[in-house]
């Protein structure tokens, strides 16, 4: 008798995770759905921004409706403490030191796959699944490769680079070879209520769309007024809190200028924001924290340095050709073939070897 494989699916309340669950069920898996309760409450549940979140009350209702339609067990996992501490707390701490965080990466590591794996073991499941657009495959040494999705426009391998080999071994990404239009068509054919639901666009814990609201609530002392200066230190205007700005930012500076100005440096300790022309944000060399290796074992990554790679410095960034070297700390030193715009400290740099995620780490500094 064929044994069913039990797989726990993180059902967010969106169309992608719903179709991921449906595909697994279609392929014969014993699917169990889990929805996360993160403790996030929209200030205005009827607002457009709240509707584009991914873990509000409406999402919980939609996730439950999808599970009912598919006829699979549905559980709610309370991760509020971990989410607020590890994801939101890290977010605020990063801005406090002039870095630009990517909370989705932290959430995937500590909450979605960390907590989901714990729940899966307790349910006797052999794997965990999400609606991410990414793929996995076996490495030559028996490890697990993380690969870009077939649909390059939806590829989410960038925000998954921090998963450990143990997490990747458990992970299933049923949408890795799917296109978004196919996913919506499948959802309509199955009669799922989320078939035409808009994609999440805002950070789930920033329902207003303005991250300064989170900083004002969590660490109001960070939002102190201070000078906006040029490269020579001449004051051009005043800002509403240096911690709220990020390198490369152009909008919201409130400065009259004959040419567009971008943030070139942020110094929350001195309440100072430096700006300059776009050219001042171009960088050819980027250094990172110690690398998290995915495509090869860490010792092989160091031994085979330098690597010819393509590199992303933000999720929506098209990979750029570069050379990756490993320094004595295990950090990455990346030299781009052509200058890239505004690699912000704190954001992730992810290097690819073909379609495979080779390694990644937070950006520490950059140079022309």
CA 56 to centroid of chain Cα atoms: 18
Q: Is-contact 147 136, C-beta < 8 A?
A: yes
CA 43 – CA 209 distance, rounded (Å): 11
- Residue whose token pair is 């290796």: 293
Omega of the bond leading into 306 within 30 degrees of 0 (cis): yes
Find the DSSP H helices in the chain.
15-26, 48-51, 57-70, 80-82, 89-96, 103-107, 114-122, 165-170, 180-189, 212-218, 298-303
Residue of 107, 147, 281, 325 marked catalytic = 107
- Residue whose token pair is 């300059």: 276
Q: Is-contact 273 263, C-beta < 8 A?
A: yes
Q: Is-contact 138 145, C-beta < 8 A?
A: yes
Omega of the bond leading into 304 within 30 degrees of 0 (cis): no
Active site residue 104: no
CA 55 – CA 366 distance, rounded (Å): 35
Instruction: Cite the beta strand spans of 98-172 per DSSP E.
Output: 127-129, 135-138, 144-147, 171-172
To which H or E segment does residue 35 belong?
strand 30-37
CA 172 – CA 92 distance, rounded (Å): 31
Most distant CA pair in the chain, distance: 77
Residues 6+ apart with CB under 8 A from 66: 11, 13, 18, 21, 33, 192, 193, 194
Active site residue 281: no
To which H or E segment does residue 310 belong?
strand 307-312
Residue of 55, 104, 147, 204 marked catalytic = 204
For 21, counting Cβ atoms within 10 Å of its Cβ (0-12 exposed, 13-18 middle, 19+ buried), the class is: buried
> Which residues are designated catalytic?
107, 204
């Amino acid at each position: 008798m064929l044994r069913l494989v039990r797989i726990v699916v993180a059902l967010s309340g969106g169309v992608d995770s719903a179709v991921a669950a449906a595909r697994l069920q279609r392929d014969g898996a014993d699917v169990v759905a889990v929805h996360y309760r993160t403790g996030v409450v929209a200030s205005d549940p009827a607002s457009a921004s709240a509707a584009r979140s991914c873990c509000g009350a409406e999402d919980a209702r939609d996730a439950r409706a999808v599970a009912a339609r598919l006829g699979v067990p549905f559980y709610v996992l309370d991760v509020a403490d971990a989410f607020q501490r590890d994801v939101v707390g890290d977010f605020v701490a990063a801005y406090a030191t002039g870095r630009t965080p990517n909370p989705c990466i932290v959430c995937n590591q500590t909450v979605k796959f960390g907590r989901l794996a714990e729940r899966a073991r307790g349910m006797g499941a052999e794997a965990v699944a999400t609606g991410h657009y990414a793929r996995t495959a076996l490495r030559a040494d028996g490890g697990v490769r993380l690969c870009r999705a077939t649909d390059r426009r939806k590829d989410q391998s960038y925000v998954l680079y921090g998963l450990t080999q143990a997490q990747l071994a458990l992970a299933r990404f049923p949408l890795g070879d799917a296109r978004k239009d196919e996913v919506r068509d499948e959802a309509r054919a199955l009669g799922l209520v989320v078939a035409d639901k808009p994609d999440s666009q805002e950070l789930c814990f920033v329902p207003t769309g303005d991250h300064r609201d989170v900083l004002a609530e969590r660490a109001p002392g960070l939002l102190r007024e201070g000078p906006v200066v040029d490269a020579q230190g001449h004051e051009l205007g005043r800002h509403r809190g240096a911690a709220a700005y990020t390198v490369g930012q152009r909008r919201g500076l409130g400065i009259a200028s004959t040419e567009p100005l971008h943030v070139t440096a942020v110094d929350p300790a001195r309440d100072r924001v430096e700006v300059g022309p776009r050219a001042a944000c171009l960088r050819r060399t980027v250094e990172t924290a110690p690398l998290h290796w995915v495509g090869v074992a860490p010792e092989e990554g160091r031994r085979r340095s330098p690597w010819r790679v393509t590199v992303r410095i933000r999720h929506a960034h098209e990979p750029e050709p570069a050379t990756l070297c490993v320094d004595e700390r295990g950090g990455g030193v990346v030299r781009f073939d052509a200058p890239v715009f505004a690699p912000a400290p704190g954001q992730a740099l992810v290097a690819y070897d073909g379609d495979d995620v080779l390694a990644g780490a937070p950006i520490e500094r950059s140079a022309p």
